[in-house]
Structure 1
Amino acid sequence: MAAAQPYLKALRERDDRGIREIYEAFAPAVRQWVCNNSGTPSDAQDLFQEALMAIYDRYCLRGAAFQGSFGGLLMTICKRRWYDRLSGKKQDEGIRNAEASRYEDEAEAWETAGATIQQQQRQQRLEQVFQYLSEQCRRVLTLLMTEGLTVEETAEHLGISSANTVYQNKHRCLSRWRQLYFEQYND
């Protein structure tokens, strides 16, 4: 248990030898404690210096009285500041994660909206081009694709003698529809 007065005097008088003693006596313990609590040696060094400045400010400049252990005081300040940093890091991390998630959700929503709009535009273009097909093609494709009739039912409905002819018409009409679409829109 090191009495505080010689160390406070060294800080107050900016005594290099006394300050070196403070570093030699207490810095290793602070470094070990910080490294054991999710920190790095660099974090420990920064924290140690901040604690010394806090002690200097309160007990040397403002003249507050202190009679306890210098090491205990230093360690208490370091621990409180380190826990505050960790708490702040968790809050910052939580905020960063929430923001990242929000941006990912927004990006996904924009992508989905963009894909939906593109799909709607493509559907509108297909419908426009569909109108360029012959009446017979539109009827065959509508009965087969929209109304869900079988090839045989479509043949009977249109008065076509064989299902094979309906297949041929379907494939010819689909090919023509694709050709017109790509000629017009180059998708």
Structure 2
Amino acid sequence: MISKHNREAMLTELYKSAFPAVAKYISKMGGSFDDAKDIFQDALVIYYEKAIAGDAAVANKRAYLVGIAKHLWLKKFNAAILSTSLNDLPVDIIQTVDEQVSANKVLQYLQTAGKRCMDLLSAFYYDKLPMKDVAGLFGYSGERSVTVQKYKCLEKVRETVKQQSLSYADFIE
């Protein structure tokens, strides 16, 4: 029989080692942080019950726990999809996505690329100016130069998002 102290230490270690992977997976699959916490708690209970029953004699406890959580998420995700009527889905998907994305966070990511990049991206995406007009406005030699610069700006933003996505601080409330 495992002592109470050892059980708590084991569960704490599993939480620290496995929860970030579960949260990252659920985030990629469209879930929220609260979804990740709920799914992880359920997975931990299942794992603990199997461990007490002697069924969980696996070499990698973390991988086993993450596998349980992924299975639970897919089960929940598929059930939600199957129970959603097409009439319940929003007509304007872009508007729905825009409401879910924090405008401040997006703005922060864009600001990391610099003012010139923000102005260029704003002119192209927000003002919907043609490449030729953007080239003249920003002093580029042609449309190709604007296209290359726009790509570089977007890559700066993508790199920032990659570097900052799901850091340890994202898991602390």
TM-score (norm 2): 0.45
Higher-Rg structure is 1
